Amino acid sequence: MAGTYQESWKEPFLSPPRFEVTRSAKRLAELAKSATNLSVSGVVTEERIASMQSRGAGLTMLYGFQRVDQEILRELQALAEERQVVPQMQALFAGRSVNFIEGFDSERRAALHPATRDVFEQAITSDLSARRVVEEELQKLRTFFGEIGNSYDTMLFIGIGGSELGPHAIADALTCYNLPSRKVHYIGNIDPDEMTAALRGTDLRKTLVAIVSKSGSTLETATNEARARQAFQTAGLDPKQHFIAVTSPKTPMDDLSRYRAVFHLFDFVGGRFSSTSVVGGVLICFLAGATTFFEFLDGANQMDRLALRLDIRDNLPLLLALLSVWNRNFLGFPTVAVIPYSQALRRFPAHLQQCEMESNGKSVDRYGRRIPYPTAPVLWGEPGTNAQHSFFQLLHQGTDVVPVEFIGFKDSQYGEDCMYNGTSSQDKLLSNLFAQALALALGHDNENPNKYFSGNRPSTLILGQKLDAKTLGALLALYENKIAFEGFLWGINSFDQEGVQLGKGLAEQLIAVCRARREGREDLSASAVGRRLLDIVEDIGSAHGIVPKSR
């Protein structure tokens, strides 16, 4: 790692100038007024596409379809330097406290998820204690899944939010590498129908249940675990022989009297960044084996190494973050679509949705001050080419410009295809990807306004050879590090999620009212409006002649 960064910091953050007052931000605001127009003839050329690409960790990023030129790229580099984002990333990798709001009550802890995959030669995270406990848990994974052999063919994976979205997306992407007859049912929602659907037709004798909760007390997860335990007990089976836990040390779930095995998720790993920890490990090791999981970790670790480089052309996550900030803050685009041209990545946009919007959907900076500029864009997406027949109408001709991040691979996962009209399905898939990027950029002139395409709509292409475990790890870490860099650029705390707490607290009050009513008493802890809403729900059944009112 020599020469990739300088140890110039003394504290986790150096108090760089605020984003909006940096010289480079002011200059970028001026340059945005005459930003590159991609639809002008002669702008998008072979030379431009060839020169505007960066490579690393098995991925190639093409950004010639972004509305940037060399001067804008130099100013984006200057913005990264003024905001000191690489030293801040170095602080993150060192295990320094990055989860805080200065002067106010906040979590104040590390966000050391890179340590969960820093188990290869030439370690880049310097917190030895973190690496040690990670290695211990990985060894426990190897041992446990080696011991159970083929005792189970089905897993119920019970978690929610970061404990389900990321692992689900990763497991879906690696389905082609699954061991014979292995399958999984995901239960995240507290909706009872999801658990009912999973249990129907499942042979519980051959089922392993993974309960994932960092706190060990997540309401939805605890409720679903209780339902699953009831099902095993009704079937005459001992839940302890079938249930494993993933939780923090010393939580209510850290209890070997109730679980066959307990794997530890540590305080320095946030839920939405836990796919490379034992959270993703129990799932991938069960479905595809430990070797596949370690290949996944290796790919993530390789991308992490790039995140410490100073030159944005060599630092794919930083470059992707800067292009995002350019589109969001200087060109004024409020959303971004992530479109993977790979059906295996069908859940990947949903995972990134949480990572981006829960991390960077903030309106105060690290000092509790109200931010006068936009932060996280609304992120959304679906796989192509299906999406082309869905919402691409808006992407091409809608009143809002939506930057797109396309993801594609030269080879298919299974390597099975057919020739139709002289080309393979994979040929057609990639041709569609490239055609969409070209169409968004170039547009199309036509006297008929209904057939007119304005063009000048930016996109980035992220390409790889094949979506294998190693490439998937690199892709995940690309976005995880991109999101952290965005937070460093904006000066916000990307590692808490206070925005989810208010609704959870109000829900607890309403649940207490429901409990009291079932017990034949009244509970006034919830607001009068909340209690009235519950009254209306109770009235619905009787109003439609379905069930009698309980009150």
Q: Where in the sequence numbering do the catalytic residues fall?
A: 358, 389, 504
Q: How many CB atoms lie within 10 A of CB 215?
A: 14
Q: Which of 20, 2, 4 is nearest to 325 (CA)?
A: 20
The values of phi and psi at residue 440, to 5°, are -60, -40
Q: Which residues of 322-361 are buried (b: 16+ CB within 10 A; e: fewer)?
A: bbbbbbbbbbebeebbbbbbbbbbbbbbbbbbbbbbbbbb
Three-state DSSP state, 432? helix
Q: Which residue is associated with the tokens 């082309």?
A: 388
In whole angstroms, give the CA distance from residue 111 to residue 121: 22
Residues sharing a CB contact under 8 Å with residue 321, sequence separation 6 or more, in sequence order: 481, 482, 483, 485, 486, 489
In whole angstroms, give the CA distance from residue 314 to residue 285: 32
Q: Which of 13, 224, 16, 263 is nearest to 116 (CA)?
A: 263
Q: How far is CA 311 from each of CA 77, 156, 446, 464, 512, rounded to the nearest angstrom?
A: 7, 44, 42, 22, 55
Handedness of CA 199, 203, 204, 208 (dihedral sign): negative
Dihedral Cα 105, 109, 113, 114, nearest 10 deg: 130
Residues sharing a CB contact under 8 Å with residue 385, sequence separation 6 or more, in sequence order: 341, 429, 432
In whole angstroms, give the CA distance from residue 286 to residue 525: 44
In whole angstroms, give the CA distance from residue 261 to residue 210: 10
Three-state DSSP state, 123? coil
**Dmax of the chain from CA atoms?**
76
